[in-house]
Structure 1
Amino acid sequence: MPELQRLRADHAPALLTFERENRAFFAASVPDRGDAYFTDFAVRHEALLTEQAAGTCHFHLLMAENGEVLGRFNLVDAENGTAELGFRLAERATGRGLATSAVRRLFTLCTTTYALTTLRASATVTNTASRSVLTRTGFVATGEEVLLNGKRGLGYVRELPPEATAPAPGPA
């Protein structure tokens, strides 16, 4: 079973491979990271680790047993009990409930480790897979329309009670 791991320095090669192999797939539903992301990957990875050490962000990778990155699950701008959730899953890992499961596992980390009580998220209106994961895990649309690199999106929120667990697992 894939394991959710906190981002580490030694994840860099596998993470870069994940991003390169899935770039076109991601660009179909989320804003592209741009060429500079790949050119400056080592510097960017180190910056993420610095943010994580400061406690303002919490980055996680969904890792296969063979060390391959299957997905990213990020909690950014953590402040006053709130953070923004962002995630992406490798094309070959979609359709198996892995994103839903990983988001549910994050809820426990949010309350037991990161002192978070509220998560916000957004997804482009064309990204039905991410919007489905959000609703399956208890996020509620806020009615807020957002722009994600020029693409129309919707905002979501999820309150996390103490010792949060996601809604009872249903169909993924």
Structure 2
Amino acid sequence: MSDTKLLCPWISMLFEPLNESHVSKLLAFELENRKHFESFIEPRSESFYSLSGVQKHIVDLQNLSGESFVLLANGVVLARANIKSIQSKGNAEIGYRVGKRATGKGIGTACVKHLVSVAKELGLNCLSAFVINNNPASEKVLLNNGFHLDLCIPNGFKHQGKSFHGFKYLRAVA
């Protein structure tokens, strides 16, 4: 776990491994930011947005090969971050969600930096991340954390009836 101070000196932020004690806080975060997230990515199923839905989601994540974290400030979830699809060759994919009120404050960068640190501890070799071109802030976060463009998928993603280009970014873990 890392203790990170980013928003202001009197707010301490802490990454915690996601577990069942976070169910109500994570549900509050997802509900508060639902429209914000759905403006960039496909919506989650309606069944997710309940205590039992989030609890099932957490249990499902714990049963997969990967690591999941929440970033808390004063007990409130600001963001979540995941390492997923860990392969035997040491490759894995990352993803993160930053709440709307926390955007533009370095939280996404802190999430990816934390995931890179965890990847080093896990002995991983390479991280990948996918972004569609409706989210330039996410691309900037990846570039700021040493990722480079690996692949472009022209019009490879549909969201809200529109086609978007997809980009795969890679970063060696040293």
Is TM > 0.5 for Structure 1 vs Structure 2? yes
Partner of 1:168: none
Q: Which runs of 4+ in 1 moved over 6 A?
A: none
Equivalent of residue 167 in structure 2, options 144, 150, 154: 154
Q: Secondary structure at the match of 2:120?
A: helix
Equivalent of residue 150 in structure 2, options 128, 142, 162: 142
**Distance in 2, Cα, partners of 1:155 & 1:26:** 19
Q: Is the 8 A contact 1:9 1:49 kept in 2?
A: no
Is 1:42 the equivalent of 2:55? Answer: yes
Where structure 2 has 5 or more consecutive residues not aligned to the other structure, the ranges are: 1-11
- Code of the aligned partner of 1:7: L
Q: 1:83 to 1:148 in 2, by over 3 A?
A: farther
Partner of 1:69: 77
**Distance in 2, Cα, partners of 1:67 & 1:148:** 35
Q: Is the 8 A contact 1:30 1:127 kept in 2?
A: no
**Distance in 2, Cα, partners of 1:88 & 1:156:** 17
Q: Secondary structure at the match of 1:46?
A: helix
Where structure 1 has 5 or more consecutive residues not aligned to the other structure, the ranges are: 162-172
**CA RMSD, aligned part only?**
1.6
Aligned sequence identity (%): 30
Equivalenced residue count is: 155
Q: TM-score, normalised by structure 1?
A: 0.83
- Code of the aligned partner of 2:126: T
Partner of 2:5: none
**Distance in 2, Cα, partners of 1:124 & 1:144:** 9
- Code of the aligned partner of 2:170: V
Q: Is the 8 A contact 2:16 2:72 kept in 1?
A: yes
Equivalent of residue 116 in structure 1, options 124, 137, 144: 124
